[in-house]
Amino acid sequence: MPTEILFQIHLVLGYVAWLLCFGAYVWPWLRSMDGLAAQRAIATLHSFRFFGLVFILPGVVSPDLPAGFASFAACGDFATGVLAMLALLTVRIRPLFRGFVVAFNVVGTLDLFVDYYHAIQADLPAHAGLFGATYAIPVIYVPLLMITHIAAFYLLARPRLEASRVVSDGATAY
C-alpha cells in the first residue's frame, strides 16, 4: 500500500478514534464544568505543545523533511504551548486568563491549518516516513489538539449564548 494512503488512513482514523473518545468521555466531563475549569483543562493539554520543537531536533526527523514545514510547525507549536502556559499562570486574573485562552486557541488553530497546508504543498503524505520518530504527532496528537481547539471555541461562546437566551427569554416574558 502506498505511503500516502497509509498516512491518510492513519490521520482519518486518528480523528475518528479521538472523536469517539472525546464524545464519550471528555466532552461530557468538560460540559459539566464551569467555563473556567474546562478552559483550564484544555490549556493544560495544550501547554505540552512545546513538544512540537522535536520537528527541528537533528536526528529525530529526516533531514529531507522540508525545512519550511518543520520550522513553522515547531515555532507554531512552541508559541501555542507558551500561550497556554501563560493562561494557566494567570488563571486567577480572569480577564488575562481569558485573553490567553483566546490567544492560544487562535494561534494553535491557525498553526494546525497552516501545517496541513504546508504538508499538502510539500506532498508530505507521500513521504510520511520523513517524520521518523515524530510520525505519531500528526496522526495521534494533532487530531486531539484540533478537536480540543474546537471545543474551547465552543465553550468560549457558550456563556454568551446562554446570556443571550436569558435576555431574550426575559424580553419575551414582558
Mean pLDDT to the nearest integer, 164-170: 49
Domain ranges of the chain: 3-56+65-167
The whole-model pTM stands at 0.87
Which amino acid, one-letter code, is at 156? L
Q: Name the 3-class secondary structure at 92.
A: coil
Condensed to tens digits (0 to 9), the pLDDT of residues 81-117 reads: 999 999 999 999 999 999 999 999 999 999 999 999 9
pLDDT for the residue 64: 87
Instruction: Give bridge partners of residue 61 from the DSSP assignment.
Output: 58
Residue 171 pLDDT > 50: no
Of the candidates 119, 1, 116, 101, the residue with the CA atom closest to the CA atom of residue 45: 101
Cell readout for 172 is 419575551
Considering the chain, what is the average pLDDT of its residues?
90
Give 167's pLDDT tier (boundaries 50, 70, 90): very low
User: Rg (Cα) of the chain, in Å, rounded?
Assistant: 18
Mean pLDDT to the nearest integer, 138-153: 96
pLDDT for the residue 68: 80
Give 162's pLDDT tier (boundaries 50, 70, 90): low
Residue 173 pLDDT > 50: no
pLDDT for the residue 101: 98
Residue 161 pLDDT > 80: no
Sign, CA torsion 45/31/113/62: positive
Of the candidates 80, 51, 89, the residue with the CA atom closest to the CA atom of residue 152: 80
Separation CA 78–CA 108 (nearest Å): 9
Of the candidates 55, 110, 60, 53, the residue with the CA atom closest to the CA atom of residue 82: 53
Condensed to tens digits (0 to 9), the pLDDT of residues 35-70 reads: 999 999 999 999 999 999 999 998 898 988 887 889
Q: Name the 3-class secondary structure at 107.
A: helix
Cell readout for 28 is 461530557
Cell readout for 168 is 431574550
